[in-house]
Amino acid sequence: MNSYLYAYLAMDMAQQRTREAEQRQLEHSLREGAPERSSGIRRLAARAMASVSLGSASITRKLDDCVADDLGRTLAAAE
């Protein structure tokens, strides 16, 4: 192959890598200034899950109290 072709291919690859590096640097600089969305979404999801968990725990405690009363009445009637 011709040495000019090798030089051309090397220059083309170097330009492509330079463009990719500049694009990564631009993306990084844009991300630094922007607020992080994923942490806000995670925080919102965590609060929603905590609310569901607390609500279900409250309902479970109320049901346990009712079932315990019913179970006590059922056992007392059988004796």
Count of the separate structural domains present in the chain: 2
Q: Do both 22 and 44 map to the same domain?
A: no
Q: State how far the Cα of 24 lies from the Cα of 37, in Å rounded to an integer.
A: 19
Q: Do both 76 and 63 map to the same domain?
A: yes
Task: Give the pLDDT confidence score for residue 49 in this predicted structure.
Answer: 94
Task: Give the pLDDT confidence score for residue 40 in this predicted structure.
Answer: 78
Task: Give the pLDDT confidence score for residue 51 in this predicted structure.
Answer: 93
Q: Do both 23 and 45 map to the same domain?
A: no
Q: Do both 45 and 76 map to the same domain?
A: yes
Domain with 12 in it? 1-34
User: pLDDT under 50 in the chain at which residues?
Assistant: none
Number of other residues whose CB lies within 10 A of the CB of residue 4: 8
Q: State how far the Cα of 1 lies from the Cα of 58, in Å rounded to an integer.
A: 78
Task: Give the pLDDT confidence score for residue 32 in this predicted structure.
Answer: 78
Q: State how far the Cα of 40 lies from the Cα of 44, in Å rounded to an integer.
A: 6
pTM reported for the whole predicted model: 0.40
Task: Give the pLDDT confidence score for residue 47 in this predicted structure.
Answer: 94
